[in-house]
């Protein structure tokens, strides 16, 4: 498959629009790119009132309130989103969704014919909710980017810096691709759910128009020169380290940037991630510094700060207030009832920030060891992401000591909000940095292909490879993943992984398909070279995929071409 599609001169003069969407844990940012001239247009949202939003409106809050059945909002929908959703509480009888991103990798929502319900079910505090509603909430948020939202002046209304309403509508109506951020290692289930939302909303017509890029790589792309832009004194060169600390994950990327940026490829990057971010800092601030003081006064407090309840929301708000104030002061005090409580900056550093930085430092040491690159060779360190502001003072000290020759670059708050989205939009200018193999041949697609070709006969790996090649599959780039599936490694999220089971209401609402799939392996090894299909399990999985893909836009019958434009 070609990596890019060359445009002729006439096509180069026409606008070719791509949309970068940074779908974060707490907010969405988006940037449009016209590939023909390399110009970018950051999007921003107007809140539910009629005044222009401030700079924070470059990020749309990923908050969604699901009304009780008796209520509807202004567009006759059970869902209210963003700022207006933040004003609702669960005392009204509805359901408040936030941190949607973390639920999208748990599974694909489907309708179980056996029990006639949407599955899987999630535990949201005291409430049990189908993953179907998480997908609906995702679509409600992304719908703000559709031309229809603009045409009918629905709120929150999206606008673009540098484009009037008519031009923005035209751009969104003619998108040639959407590029999403995707945390390292989150796998195909997360991507499938995001693709499905884009296809359902008709922002793209074909699944191969949707791409995924790691946050850390996107952060770097945002610093590279735009088309026809001359390198400046601040141009990033040489060995470069990127630290992107978001709400849920912290990503690291190490790369030696070539002089000719067109030679930069995905294989040049060394990537790592930590499953912790700003939300974990909030949790530790509350548990370590606030909860011990508050609990003496309020017995009803909960240590479960990450639960989607009104009480937990207030606790997170208090933790974030502490975090914000102590960026500028050494300590602060406040009143709770008739008692005084307070937090010192030194306690925040010692009990919360230093342990978090130690995790980053350990991963940095591992990354440097694996690559054989010495600390002194690092020329630039880029720090970005929403959690950087909390870490900034201590992180700067760590990096200055660890990388004495490096220039440390930190985003301002305003730039930080759209940094990843800017880099995502830049992908068509640097198409060679896209990781193609796992997107072109996803684990879900490969499993479906195996189920299509196996019968009751035993087979060797080479026999399977030959059959797949006759079907047009490039097995050279996916052979190891095929072998892993044959050896029992199902795609993560197809059935719940142990680490995610606590978020699912499996004990209260058992999932018959999950139980049956987990009961026995799909293939049994006869000897070192051959496998025997478990016919009952194969039929079970075929039926399960039929349920998963019912009412879906994606079919998993062809590999994705993933072509990006080339202006060279």
Beta carbons of 43 and 30 less than 8 angstroms apart: yes
Beta carbons of 169 and 17 less than 8 angstroms apart: no
Residues whose CB falls within 8 Å of the CB of residue 139, separated by 6 or more in sequence, listed in order: 197, 200, 201
According to DSSP, the β-strands at 238-245 and 210-213 are unpaired
Beta carbons of 183 and 213 less than 8 angstroms apart: no
> In whole angstroms, what separates CA 512 from the centre of its chain?
29
For residues 21 and 210, give the distance between their C-alpha atoms in angstroms, rounded to a whole number. 11
Q: What angle do CA 295, 297, 299 make, to 5 degrees?
A: 60
For residues 562 and 89, give the distance between their C-alpha atoms in angstroms, rounded to a whole number. 43
Burial 394-429 (b: 16+ CB within 10 A, else e): bbeebbeebbeebebebbeeeebbbbbbbbbbbbbb
Strands, E, within 376-477: which ranges?
380-384, 407-410, 459-460
Looking at residue 348, its pLDDT comes to 97
Strands, E, within 214-261: which ranges?
238-245, 250-257
Looking at residue 6, its pLDDT comes to 55
Report how far apart, in Å, the C-alpha atoms of 137 and of each of 134, 183, 197 are: 5, 20, 10
Residues whose CB falls within 8 Å of the CB of residue 402, separated by 6 or more in sequence, listed in order: 361, 364, 375
For the chain, domains (ranges, CATH) are 232-412 (3.30.420.40), 437-549 (no CATH)
For residues 97 and 85, give the distance between their C-alpha atoms in angstroms, rounded to a whole number. 9
Pick from 482, 494, 562, 566: which is nearest to 212 by CA?
562
Query: What element of type H or E holds 33?
Result: strand 27-34
Beta carbons of 154 and 77 less than 8 angstroms apart: no
Looking at residue 54, its pLDDT comes to 44
The DSSP output letter for 393 is: H
For residues 452 and 446, give the distance between their C-alpha atoms in angstroms, rounded to a whole number. 10
Only one residue has tokens 């700060």, namely 305
For residues 387 and 412, give the distance between their C-alpha atoms in angstroms, rounded to a whole number. 12
Query: What element of type H or E holds 39?
Result: strand 39-46
* CA-CA-CA-CA dihedral for 351, 354, 359, 364, to nearest 10: 180
Looking at residue 567, its pLDDT comes to 52
According to DSSP, the β-strands at 60-61 and 27-34 are antiparallel
Looking at residue 417, its pLDDT comes to 87
For residues 407 and 260, give the distance between their C-alpha atoms in angstroms, rounded to a whole number. 21
Looking at residue 68, its pLDDT comes to 79
Beta carbons of 192 and 554 less than 8 angstroms apart: yes
Q: Which residues of the chain have pLDDT under 50?
A: 1-3, 10, 50, 52-56, 74-75, 232-233, 568
For residues 280 and 293, give the distance between their C-alpha atoms in angstroms, rounded to a whole number. 19
Q: Helix 131-142 and helix 187-201: axis angle, to 10°?
A: 50
For residues 291 and 284, give the distance between their C-alpha atoms in angstroms, rounded to a whole number. 10
The values of phi and psi at residue 319, to 5°, are -65, -40
Pick from 267, 173, 235, 213: which is nearest to 21 by CA?
213
Residue 460's Cβ-side half-sphere holds a number of Cα atoms within 13 Å equal to: 5
pTM for this predicted structure: 0.93
The three-state (H, E, C) secondary structure of 87-136, written as one string: CCCHHHCCEEECCHHHHCCCCCCEEECCCCEEECEEEECCEEEEHHHHHH
For residues 161 and 30, give the distance between their C-alpha atoms in angstroms, rounded to a whole number. 11
* Token pair recorded at residue 322: 């502490």
Beta carbons of 409 and 382 less than 8 angstroms apart: yes
β-strand partners of 64: 81, 97
Residue 168's Cβ-side half-sphere holds a number of Cα atoms within 13 Å equal to: 25
137 conformational bin, left if phi > 0, alpha if psi -120 to 50, beta if neither: alpha
> In whole angstroms, what separates CA 274 from the centre of its chain?
14
For residues 145 and 113, give the distance between their C-alpha atoms in angstroms, rounded to a whole number. 34
Give me the count of residues in the chain: 568
524-527 long-range Cβ contacts below 8 angstroms, 24+ apart: 525/487, 526/458
Residue 133's Cβ-side half-sphere holds a number of Cα atoms within 13 Å equal to: 24
Q: Is 508 helix (H, G, I), strand (E, B) or coil?
A: coil
For residues 374 and 55, give the distance between their C-alpha atoms in angstroms, rounded to a whole number. 39
For residues 432 and 222, give the distance between their C-alpha atoms in angstroms, rounded to a whole number. 15
């Amino acid at each position: 498959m070609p990596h890019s599609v060359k445009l002729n001169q006439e096509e180069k003069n026409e606008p070719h629009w791509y949309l970068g969407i940074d779908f974060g844990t707490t907010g969405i940012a988006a940037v449009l790119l016209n590939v023909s001239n390399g110009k970018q247009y950051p999007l921003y949202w107007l809140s539910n009132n009629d005044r222009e939003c401030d700079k924070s409106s470059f990020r749309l809050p990923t908050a969604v309130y699901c009304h009780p059945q008796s209520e509807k909002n202004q567009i006759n929908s059970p869902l209210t989103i963003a700022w207006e959703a933040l004003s609702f509480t669960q005392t009204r009888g509805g359901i408040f969704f936030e941190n949607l991103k973390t639920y999208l990798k748990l599974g694909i929502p489907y309708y179980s014919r056996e029990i006639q319900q949407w599955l899987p079910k999630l535990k949201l505090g005291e409430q049990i909710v189908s993953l179907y509603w998480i997908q609906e909430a995702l679509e409600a948020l992304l719908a703000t980017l559709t031309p229809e939202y603009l045409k009918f002046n629905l709120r929150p209304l999206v606008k673009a810096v540098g484009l009037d309403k008519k031009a923005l509508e035209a751009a969104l109506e003619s998108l040639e691709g959407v590029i999403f951020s995707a945390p390292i290692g989150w796998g195909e289930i997360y991507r499938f759910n995001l693709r499905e939302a884009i296809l359902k909303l008709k922002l793209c017509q074909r699944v191969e128009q949707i791409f995924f890029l790691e946050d850390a790589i996107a952060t770097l792309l945002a610093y590279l020169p735009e088309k026809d832009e001359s390198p400046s004194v601040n141009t990033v060169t040489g060995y470069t380290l990127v630290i992107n600390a978001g709400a849920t994950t912290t990503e690291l990327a190490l790369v030696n940037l070539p002089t000719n940026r067109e030679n930069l490829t995905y294989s040049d990057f060394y990537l790592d991630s930590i499953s912790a971010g700003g939300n974990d800092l909030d949790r530790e601030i509350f548990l370590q510094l606030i909860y011990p003081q508050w609990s003496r006064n309020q017995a009803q407090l909960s240590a479960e700060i990450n639960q989607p309840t009104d009480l937990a929301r207030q606790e997170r708000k208090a933790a974030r207030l502490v975090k914000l104030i102590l960026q500028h002061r050494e300590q602060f005090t406040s009143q709770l009832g008739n008692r005084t409580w307070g937090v010192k900056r030194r306690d925040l550093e010692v009990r919360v920030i230093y342990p978090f930085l130690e995790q980053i430092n350990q991963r940095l040491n591992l990354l440097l060891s694996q690559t054989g690159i010495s600390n002194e060779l690092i020329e630039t360190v880029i720090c970005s992401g929403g959690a950087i502001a909390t870490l900034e003072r201590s992180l700067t000290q760590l990096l200055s000591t660890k990388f004495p020759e490096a220039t440390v670059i930190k985003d301002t708050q305003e730039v930080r909000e759209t940094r990843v989205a800017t880099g995502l939009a830049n992908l068509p200018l640097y198409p060679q940095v896209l990781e193609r193999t796992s997107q072109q041949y996803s684990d879900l697609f490969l499993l479906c292909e195996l189920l299509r070709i196996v019968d009751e006969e035993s087979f060797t790996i080479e026999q399977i490879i030959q059959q797949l090649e006759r079907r047009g599959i490039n097995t050279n780039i996916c052979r190891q993943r095929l072998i892993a599936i044959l050896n029992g490694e199902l795609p993560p999220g197809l059935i719940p992984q142990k680490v995610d089971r606590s978020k699912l209401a499996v004990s209260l609402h058992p999932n018959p398909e999950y139980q049956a799939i987990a009961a026995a392996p799909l293939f049994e090894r006869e000897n070192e070279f051959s496998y025997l299909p478990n016919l009952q399990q194969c039929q079970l999985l075929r039926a399960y995929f039929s349920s998963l893909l019912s009412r879906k836009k994606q079919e998993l019958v062809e590999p994705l071409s993933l072509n990006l434009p080339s202006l060279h």
